[in-house]
Amino acid sequence: MAIEGNPKTCVVLSGRSLIGKSLVSKLLKSETWIVRIADSAPSLYLDLKETNNSILSQAISSDRASYFQVDVRDKSQLITAIEGSSVVFHLEATDLSSSDFYLQYLITVQGTRNVINVCRECKVKSLIYNSSADVVFDGIHDIQNGDESLQYPRKFEDMLSDLKAQAETLVLLSSGDSGLLTCALRPSNAFGPDDTHLVPLLLSGANSGLAKFIIGNGENMCDFTYVDNIAHASICAEKALRSTNTSAAGKAFFITNLEPMKFWEFASMILEGLGYQSPSIHLPARLFSFFLRLANYVQGKLGYHFNAHSLLNPAIVQLHSRTRTFNCSKAQTHIGYSPVVSLEEGVTLTVESFSYLAEDSPYTRYCNNSEPSKVDKLLGSGTVAEILLWRDEKKTFNYCLAMLMLYNWFLLSERTFISSTAKLLLLISVILFGHGILPSSLCWNRFGFTIQQLSPSHFEVSVISMNYILASLASSWNRLMQTLKSFAQTGDCNIFFKAAISLYLAKILLSLSFSTVIGVGLVFAFTAFFTYEQYEEEVNRVTKVSLNGVKKLTRSLIKSLPVSVTSFLHSLPSVGSG
C-alpha cells in the first residue's frame, strides 16, 4: 500500500479500545498517516480477524503503524509515544469494572493532565479528546434534544461521568496554549462489534434474568452512536482543527447517529438478534432504584460493592430509564460531521460480532428444546408448572399477588385464623351478592374493563379433580409408609441418613414461626424453580462437584476412624461402597 507524500504522524491513545481499533483502521485506510498505537498492554496482540491479511497487520509490516505500551500516569512513557507527532487522539479507555475512585481519578483526570502537558512539551498541534454525552446528565432529569449550551451538573450520579467532565474541562481550557488546539467529542451510548460495555451489559442482564424487565414506562428516548461514526467524527475534528478556520478549537461536540429511539427498543434489537428474550415486564423506576440503593448501602456496610457498570448500579438504572437525546447540529456545522453507518446497519454488524454467544443463551436453549425440563416434569408439566416457571408473566404475577394478599390477610394481621377466614368468606359473599344483582344493562366498558356474569359451574369441583387430589394424597402416604418400612427392616444407612437429615430440617422449620415458614415457602416457590430451570446446567455442575467433595470427605473420615469402627461400618449395607 503506497503512502502519500509527507505523511503525518498521529498517536491514538487507547488504540486497542473499541473506538481505538475503528479509528486506527480509518486512519490507515486514508494512506496519509503514520499511526502510533498506544495502549496499556505490554505488546500488540492481533486477533484472528486482524491477523488474516488485515490493513493493520500490513501497516505494521511496512512500518506505517507501530505500538507503544503507555500508562497515562507515566509522563516518560507518554513522551516516548508522542514525541515527533502532530496529532494526538486521546480516547481514554477507563476500567469500567473498577469502583476505586482514586484509581479512576489518576487514569481519567491526572492522566489527561499528563497528556496535555506532554503535548505542549512535544509541540503537538492538535489534541482530540473522546469524552461522553453523559457529562451533562445529572442522573435525575431528562435531556431532550440537548445542545452544547447545557452546563455540567453540580452533582453527578455517576462517578465516571464526573471524572470525564473534569478531564474534558482540562482539555478545552488548554486550547491555544503553546500552539496546541483542542476539542472534545461527546458520543452518546457508543456501541459496535466486540463492544466491551453496552452490549455486554445487556447480555449480563439477559443471563441473570434481569433483561426481562423494563425499568420505568419504557418510553424514554436515547441517542446511540455506532463506533465507526465516532472514529469518523474524530477525523473530521482533526481536519477542522488543522484548517484555517479554528471555530472548532476549545469546543465540545455531541456525536450521535442522528436516529434517536426508545432505549428498550434498542435493547430488544440486540437481545432478540442474539436469541435472548426481549424485555417485557415493567418495573417502577423509583421503586427499583430505592431497593438498589438500599442493597448498595447494606453491601457497603458489609465491605462489598457493585461493579461500577453493573445493571444493579443505581446510576446505570437512571441512565437506562431517562430520556437522553442530543442535538448534533453544532458538530455538523463546525467539523462537518455526519454519520457514515446507519443505526440499523450498526446493530446488524454488532449482533454478528457477538453471534457466538447466541447458541449459549438460556432463552435460545429453552426455545429450541421441545422436551420439558426436569423441573417442569417435577411440577407435573401442568398449570402449576406454567405458573411457577413464569411461562405467562401476567398470569404468574396475578397468582403471586393473590398469594401475598392471602399471606398478609391470614398471617400478618393480628386476627386469628378463624376470624380471618370468616371475614374473607363474608367479603366474598358480599362481592358475589353484589355481582349477582347488577343489572345486565349496566355497561362497564366505559371504564376500560368488563365484568362477566359467573356461572354456577365456576364453584363446582369435578369428580375427576377430586379423585386426582385424593389419589395424589394416597400415593404420597404410601411412599412415606414404604420408606418407613424399608428403614425399619433393611437397616440401609442411606435411608437412615436421609431420614436424619429430613428430621433435622423439620426441627429447624418447627423452630421458626408458622408465618415465617410460609413466607419463605412462597418466595422459594416463585423464584427457586424458575431460577433452576434457567441455570439447570450450572446448578447440576455445582451439585455434582459438591457431592464428589462430600464423598471424598466421607472416605477420608472413615479412614481416620479406628479399625474396629471401620470394620463395623463396612459390614453395614450401602456403607463404604461409594
Which residues are the active-site residues?
164
CB atoms within 10 A of CB 365: 15
C-alpha cell at 452: 362477566
CB atoms within 10 A of CB 302: 8
Q: Which helix H or strand E contains 79, and what residues bound it?
A: helix 75-82
Q: Using alpha carbons only, give the angle 534, 539, 544 rounded to the nearest 5 degrees.
A: 155
- The 10 Å CB-count burial string (b at 16+, else e) for 127-160 is bbbbbbbbbbbbbeeebeebebebebbeebbbbb
C-alpha cell at 435: 355481582
Residue 346 CB burial class (10 angstroms; 0-12, 13-18, ≥19): buried
Cβ–Cβ < 8 Å for 121, 127: no
Residue 73 CB burial class (10 angstroms; 0-12, 13-18, ≥19): middle
Residue 99 CB burial class (10 angstroms; 0-12, 13-18, ≥19): middle
Distance CA 91, CA 161 (A): 15
Cβ–Cβ < 8 Å for 326, 147: yes
The DSSP-derived string for 329-379 is HHHHHHT----SS-HHHHHHHHHHHTGGGGGG-HHHHHHH--SPPHHHHHT
C-alpha cell at 33: 498517516
CB atoms within 10 A of CB 571: 9
Phi-psi region of 6 (alpha: psi -120 to 50; beta: other; left: phi over 0): left
CA 463 to chain centre: 49
